[in-house]
Amino acid sequence: MCLFQCIMNYFPEEVLEHVFDFLTSLRDRNAVSLVCKSWYNVERCSRKKVFIGNCYAVNPELVIARFPRFQSLTLKGKPHFADFNLVPHDWGGYVQPWIEALAKNGISLEELRLKRMVVSDESLELLSKSFPNFKSLTLVSCEGFSTDGLAAIASNCRYLRELDLQENEVDDHKGHWLSCFPDSCTSLVSLNFACLKGEVNAAALERLIARCRNLKSLRLNHAVPLETLQKILVQAPQLNDLGIGSFVSDPYTESYFKLKAVLQKCKSVKSLSGFLDVNPRCLPSIYPICTNLTSLNLSYAPGIQSNDLIKLIIRCKKLERLWILDTIGDKGLEVVAATCKELQELRVFPSDLHGVGNAAVTEEGLVAISAGCPKLNSILYFCQQMTNAALITVAKNCPNFIRFRLCTLNPVIPDAVTNQPLDDGFGAIVQSCKGLKRLSVSGLLTDQVFLYIGMYAEQLEMLSIGFAGDSDKGMLYVLNGCKKLKKLEIRDSPFGNMALLSDVGKYETMRSLWMSSCEVTYGACKTLAEKMPRLNVEIINENEEMEGRPKDKHRVEKMYLYRTLVGARKDAPPFVWTL
Amino acid sequence: MERNNGLGLETELRLGLPGGGVGEVEKNEKKRVFSCFFDGGGEAEAKKNQVVGWPPVRAYRQKNSFNLMKMYVKVSMDGAPFLRKIDLSNHKGYSDLVLALEQLFGCFCIGDALKDADNCEYVPIYEDKDGDWMLLGDVPWEMFTETCKRLRIMKKSDAMGIGLHAKDLLKGLSNKEY
Distance CA A190, CA A211 (A): 13
Q: What's the pLDDT score for residue A443? A: 96
Name A297's bridge partners. Answer: A273, A323
Helix (H) or strand (E) segment spanning residue A378: strand A378-383
Contact A494 B55 (CB under 8 A): no
Q: Is the Cβ of B87 closer than 8 Å to some Cβ of chain A?
A: yes
**Beta-strand relationship, B72-77 and B122-128:** unpaired
**Chain B residues inside the 8 Å CB shell of A381:** none
Mutate to test the interface with B, among A327, A361, A410 (most CBs of B within 10 A): A410
Please report the DSSP string for A112-126 in residue order.
Answer: EEEES-B--HHHHHH
Please report the DSSP string for B98-121 in residue order.
Answer: HHHHHHHHT-TTHHHHHTT-SS-S
Q: What are the backbone dihedrals phi and psi of residue A219, each rounded to the nearest 5 degrees, phi first?
A: -125, 115
Which of A143, A76, A78 has its CA nearest to residue A558?
A78
Distance CA A345, CA A508 (A): 32
Which of A569, A578, A577, A444 has its CA nearest to residue A93?
A569
Q: Which residues contact B29 (CB under 8 A, 6 or more apart)?
A: B1
Please say if the pLDDT value at position B46 is more than 70. Answer: no
Residue pair B102/B94 in contact (Cβ under 8 Å)? The answer is no
Q: Is the Cβ of B177 closer than 8 Å to some Cβ of chain A?
A: no
Residues 92-121 of B with CB under 8 A from A: 92, 96, 100, 103
Helix, strand and coil content of chain A, in percent to the nearest 5, comes to: 35, 20, 45
Burial label, A304 (beta-carbon count in 10 A; 0-12, 13-18, 19+): buried
Q: How confident is the model at residue B11 (pLDDT cuts 50, 70, 90)?
A: very low
Contact A325 B65 (CB under 8 A): yes
Please say if the pLDDT value at position B3 is more than 50. Answer: no
DSSP-assigned letter for residue A342: T
**Beta-strand relationship, A345-349 and B148-155:** unpaired
Alpha-carbon dihedral sign for residues A568, A570, A574, A576 = negative
Distance CA A579, CA A537 (A): 6
Query: Cα(first)–Cα(last) distance of chain B, in Å?
Result: 42
Name A274's bridge partners. Answer: A244
Q: How many CB atoms lie within 10 A of CB A484?
A: 13
**Beta-strand relationship, A462-466 and A487-491:** parallel
**Chain A residues inside the 8 Å CB shell of B64:** 195, 276, 300
Q: Is the Cβ of B58 closer than 8 Å to some Cβ of chain A?
A: yes
Q: Is the Cβ of B129 closer than 8 Å to some Cβ of chain A?
A: no
Q: How confident is the model at residue B43 (pLDDT cuts 50, 70, 90)?
A: very low
Contact B33 A407 (CB under 8 A): no
Q: What's the pLDDT score for residue B140? A: 81
Q: Which residue of A has its CA nearest to B46?
A: A354
Distance CA B120, CA A264 (A): 52
CA distances from A238 to A233, A268, B33 (A): 9, 6, 53
Which of A513, A504, A498 has its CA nearest to residue A558?
A513
Q: How confident is the model at residue B16 (pLDDT cuts 50, 70, 90)?
A: very low
CA distances from B178 to A448, B140, B147 (A): 45, 7, 17
What 3-state DSSP class applies to B8?
A: coil
Rounded to the nearest 5 degrees, what angle is found at the Cα of A439, between the Cα atoms of A434 and A445?
A: 110
Please give the residue that has the higher pLDDT: either A512 or B154: A512
Residue pair A149/A119 in contact (Cβ under 8 Å)? The answer is yes
Residue pair A562/A80 in contact (Cβ under 8 Å)? The answer is no
**Chain B residues inside the 8 Å CB shell of A350:** 55, 57
The partner residue sitting opposite B44, judged by closest CB among A81, A410, A466, is A410
Rounded to the nearest 5 degrees, what angle is found at the Cα of A201, between the Cα atoms of A230 and A205?
A: 50
CA distances from A398 to A89, A393, A428, A441, B36 (A): 40, 9, 11, 17, 35
Distance CA A356, CA A409 (A): 12
The partner residue sitting opposite B100, judged by closest CB among A299, A356, A440, is A356
**Chain A residues inside the 8 Å CB shell of B51:** 411, 492
Contact A412 B62 (CB under 8 A): no
User: Could you report the predicted ipTM of this complex, rounded to two decimals?
Assistant: 0.87
Residue pair A379/A345 in contact (Cβ under 8 Å)? The answer is yes
What 3-state DSSP class applies to A93?
A: coil
> Mean pLDDT, to the nearest integer, of B133-143?
84
Please give the residue that has the higher pLDDT: either A553 or B17: A553
What 3-state DSSP class applies to A514?
A: strand
The per-residue pLDDT string of chain A (579 residues; one tens digit each, 9 = 90 and over) reads 566 666 666 778 888 888 888 888 898 999 999 998 888 998 999 999 999 999 999 999 999 999 999 999 999 999 999 999 899 989 999 999 999 999 999 999 999 999 999 999 999 999 999 999 999 999 999 999 999 999 999 999 999 999 999 999 999 887 789 999 999 999 999 999 999 988 889 999 999 999 999 999 999 998 998 889 999 999 998 999 999 988 887 777 888 889 999 999 888 999 999 998 888 888 999 999 999 999 999 999 988 888 999 999 999 999 999 999 999 999 999 999 999 999 999 999 998 765 445 658 999 999 999 999 999 999 999 999 999 999 999 999 999 999 999 999 999 999 999 999 999 999 999 999 999 999 999 999 999 999 999 999 999 999 999 999 999 999 999 999 999 999 999 999 999 999 999 999 999 999 999 999 999 999 999 999 999 999 999 999 888 777 788 889 999 999 999 999 999 999 999 999 999
Residue pair B114/B125 in contact (Cβ under 8 Å)? The answer is no
Please give the residue that has the higher pLDDT: either B103 or A359: B103
CB pairs under 8 A between A and B: 107
Which of A326, A282, A329 has its CA nearest to residue A302?
A326
**Chain B residues inside the 8 Å CB shell of A306:** 92
Q: What's the pLDDT score for residue A358? A: 62
Which of A526, A516, A427 has its CA nearest to residue A464?
A516
Distance CA A491, CA A471 (A): 14
Q: What are the backbone dihedrals phi and psi of residue B150, each rounded to the nearest 5 degrees, phi first?
A: -160, 160
Contact A358 B91 (CB under 8 A): yes
Q: Which residues contact B137 (CB under 8 A, 6 or more apart)?
A: B94, B114, B173, B176, B178
Residue pair A131/A109 in contact (Cβ under 8 Å)? The answer is yes
